[in-house]
Amino acid sequence: MSMEMMLATYEFQQWLYREAKLLDDIDFDGWFALMHPEIQYIMPVRINKEGIERPDYSTDMFAFHDDHHLLSLRVERLKSDYAWAELPPSRTRRSVNNVRVEEYVPNKRAVVKSYLLLYRSRSTDIHHDLISGERTDEFICLDGEWKLSKRFFVVDQTTINTRNLAIFI
């Protein structure tokens, strides 16, 4: 790996760690500021296919399929007085790892893949929910800062083992 790619990998690791921290700290405004105005925030439905036929996710049904406006609605809602699904907020811990920079044009654009393991604990429940999957993230550099322009999250369960997706992936 070239020195440039090593530095880029480090840079995006740090970006993803910071993003995880903002979400886990329920700083939704801070998190939303990381989004590019052209953000596409997508989570397709995972499906069991026969054998090794791929892709094994739906291309026409999604748990999330948001642009900047729709994502802003979710953020605004979470800040309202009635967002019961997250009142009080879940305790979440996002572990981001296996970060690989797939495409990188300095100061312009990048494509980064990573694995996400999201731990969720609600209220006094002693059991927890785990959401695992792979992200494919696209970044655009805007005024010297990397902004997320596309997130494509492929979840590892066909039946999601959490009561709702009132949290971000």
Partner 1 sequence: MAKPEVRLDEMTREEALHYLNETLKPEEGIIPAYILTDPTIYKLEHEKIFMKTWVLLGHESEISGKNDYMLRDLAGYSVIVARSQDGEIRAFYNMCTHRGMKLCRADKGNKANFTCPYHGFNFKNTGELIGVPLQNDIYGGKLDTSGMGLNKVTIGIYHGLIFGTWNDHPQPLEDFLGDFKWYLDIALGRTEMEVVGPPQKFIVHANWKIGADNFVSDSYHTMVTHGSIAQLGMVPSATYSRKGYQVHTENGHGCLIGMPNPDFAFPEELKGEYRAHLTPEQYELMSNLKNMIGTLFPNLSLLVSHTKVKGQLVSNTSMRLWKPVGPDKMEVMTWFLVEKNASDDWKHRSREAFILTFSPSGIFEQDDTEVFTDITAAASGVMPFAKQLAYNYTMGMHREPVADFPGPGVAYGDKFSEANSRNYFRYWLNLMNS
Interface contacts to partner 1, rule CB under 8 A: 43, 45, 47-50, 58-66, 69-70, 73-74, 76-77, 80-85, 123, 158-166
Which lies closer to partner 1 via its Cβ, residue 50 or residue 143? 50
- Token pair 């999250």 in the structure block, residue: 153
Min separation Cβ 61 and partner 1, Å: 3
Distance CA(124)–CA(131), nearest Å, equals: 19
Q: Across-strand partners of 138? A: 111, 150
Min separation Cβ 150 and partner 1, Å: 16
Longest dimension (CA), the chain: 50
Distance CA(148)–CA(151), nearest Å, equals: 7
Which lies closer to partner 1 via its Cβ, residue 66 or residue 101? 66
Which lies closer to partner 1 via its Cβ, residue 93 or residue 163? 163
- Token pair 């967002």 in the structure block, residue: 83
Min separation Cβ 90 and partner 1, Å: 10
